[in-house]
């Protein structure tokens, strides 16, 4: 029986909560202006709710949410983000989260980011009380629980955080050396176990992706690609670009599909850039697994959520 994995990203939930004047110092002021100039009308919470309802109707075995639930990481956004994430399913067992650049918008909110999303970002057996202990092993600030690994039905779900605070108008991400080294150890171990390895992160790791250029992509994409080339993976999922895309990275035996998903709340643009999510049916073990994918989202010229066809992996 296939393991069914749902993937969505970039919810950008709104409206923005009240912002105090001191909250808008620095980078947030440009984001606040951009929200009111257009981003607020580009995302619909009614459509997002319809996407979530449709996703839950498919009864996936697990849901991967790859970041940017927030917009400016205002203090009032974090409780709303946690409440919304729970609408996808139970944290930990049924839902995983990886942080995006809008979630890690400013350095001062990184500890709040870690606390808020701890139940969704822990490896098996490390968060039985719903919290994640800070890691003293040298991980980047604000990333105490990344990378994490959850094993579900023969699948290893490996979550990375590429969301780091950046200067205004810069939306690139970074994993960092410690996180990449831990990723390699996880890929090696879960590969030996014969698990189907699914890597989840926010930023596109392929520089060939048009949205992956300098200022928007993953700054250490080359090091990430080397890790995949050495140890392999069966599937890599990301968000950030607000569009459906399929690319590949070289693995030790065969290319690894790298699949991007549209924003889960976007209402403008072409069909594959409007609100939707992806479903992956995973059958078999390890490197020999068969993975098929379908897109679901806003239908052409319609406000209903429906099937948009297969994705060629």
- Please give the pLDDT value at position 213: 57
Q: Are 138 and 107 in contact (CB under 8 A)?
A: no
Quote the percentage of the chain above a pLDDT of 90.
65
**What confidence tier does 242 reach under pLDDT thresholds 50, 70, 90?**
very high
Q: Edge-to-edge strand order for the sheet containing 305-311?
A: 95-97, 62-65, 3-8, 276-283, 290-298, 305-311
Length of the chain: 313
Degrees, nearest 5: CA angle 171-218-266: 50
Using alpha carbons, select from 158, 157, 153 the residue that is nearest to residue 180. Answer: 158
- Non-local (6+) Cβ contacts of 123 within 8 A are 145, 148, 149, 150
Per CATH, which fold does 3-311 belong to?
Purple Acid Phosphatase; chain A, domain 2 (3.60.21)
Q: Where in the chain are the domains?
A: 3-311
Q: Residue 151 is inside which H or E element, if any?
A: strand 148-152
Distance between CA atoms of 258 and 312, rounded to whole angstroms?
A: 11
The pLDDT tens digits for 160-171 are 999 988 877 788
Enter the tokens of residue 274: 């409007």
The pLDDT tens digits for 36-78 are 666 767 889 999 999 999 999 999 999 999 999 998 888 889 9
Enter the tokens of residue 31: 């984001």
Distance between CA atoms of 186 and 183, rounded to whole angstroms?
A: 5
Mean pLDDT for the chain overall: 87
Q: Of 29-33, 108-112, 257-261, which has the strongest mean pLDDT?
A: 257-261
**What confidence tier does 133 reach under pLDDT thresholds 50, 70, 90?**
very low
Q: Is the pLDDT of residue 140 over 50?
A: no
- Non-local (6+) Cβ contacts of 25 within 8 A are none
Q: Taking the CA atoms of the chain, what radius of gyration do you get in angstroms?
A: 18
SS (H, E, C) 169-203: CCCCECCCHHHHHHHHHHHHHHHHCCCEEEEECCC
Specify which residues 40 forms β-bridges with. none
Q: Are 94 and 63 in contact (CB under 8 A)?
A: yes
Q: Of 79-88, 130-139, 201-210, which has the strongest mean pLDDT?
A: 79-88
- Please give the pLDDT value at position 56: 97
Q: DSSP 3-state assignment of 61?
A: coil
Q: Is the pLDDT of residue 193 over 90?
A: yes
- Please give the pLDDT value at position 23: 64
Cβ-in-10-Å burial (0-12, 13-18, 19+) of 90 comes to exposed
Q: DSSP 3-state assignment of 58?
A: coil
Q: How far is CA 91 from CA 9, 206, 255, in A?
A: 16, 29, 31
């Amino acid at each position: 029986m296939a393991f069914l994995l749902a993937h969505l990203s970039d919810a950008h939930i709104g409206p923005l909560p009240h912002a105090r004047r001191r909250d808008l110092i620095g980078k947030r002021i440009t984001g606040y202006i951009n929200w009111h100039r257009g981003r607020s009308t580009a995302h619909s919470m009614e459509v997002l709710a319809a996407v979530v309802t449709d996703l839950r109707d498919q009864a996936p075995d697990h849901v991967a949410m790859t970041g940017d639930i927030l917009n400016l990481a205002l203090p009032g956004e974090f409780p709303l983000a946690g409440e919304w994430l729970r609408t996808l399913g139970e944290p930990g067992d049924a839902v995983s989260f990886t942080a995006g650049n809008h979630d890690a918008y400013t350095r001062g909110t990184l500890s709040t980011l870690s606390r808020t999303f701890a139940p969704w970002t822990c490896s098996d057996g490390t968060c039985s009380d719903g919290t994640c202990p800070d890691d003293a092993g040298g991980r980047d600030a604000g990333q105490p629980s990344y990378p994490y690994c959850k094993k579900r039905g023969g699948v290893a779900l490996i979550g990375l955080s590429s969301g780091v605070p950046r200067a205004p108008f810069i939306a690139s991400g970074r994993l960092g050396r410690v996180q990449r080294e831990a990723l390699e150890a996880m890929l090696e171990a879960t590969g030996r176990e014969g698990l189907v390895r699914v890597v989840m992160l926010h930023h596109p790791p392929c520089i060939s992706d048009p949205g992956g250029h300098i200022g928007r992509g993953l700054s250490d994409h080359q090091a990430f690609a080397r890790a995949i080339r050495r140890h392999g993976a069966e599937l890599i999922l990301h968000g950030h670009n607000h569009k459906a895309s399929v690319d590949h990275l070289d693995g030790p035996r065969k290319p690894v599909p790298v699949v991007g998903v549209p924003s889960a709340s976007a209402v403008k643009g072409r069909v594959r850039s409007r609100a939707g999510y992806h479903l992956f049916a995973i059958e078999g073990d390890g490197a020999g697994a068969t993975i098929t994918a379908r897109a679901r989202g806003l239908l052409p010229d319609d406000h209903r959520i429906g099937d948009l066809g297969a994705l060629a992996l």
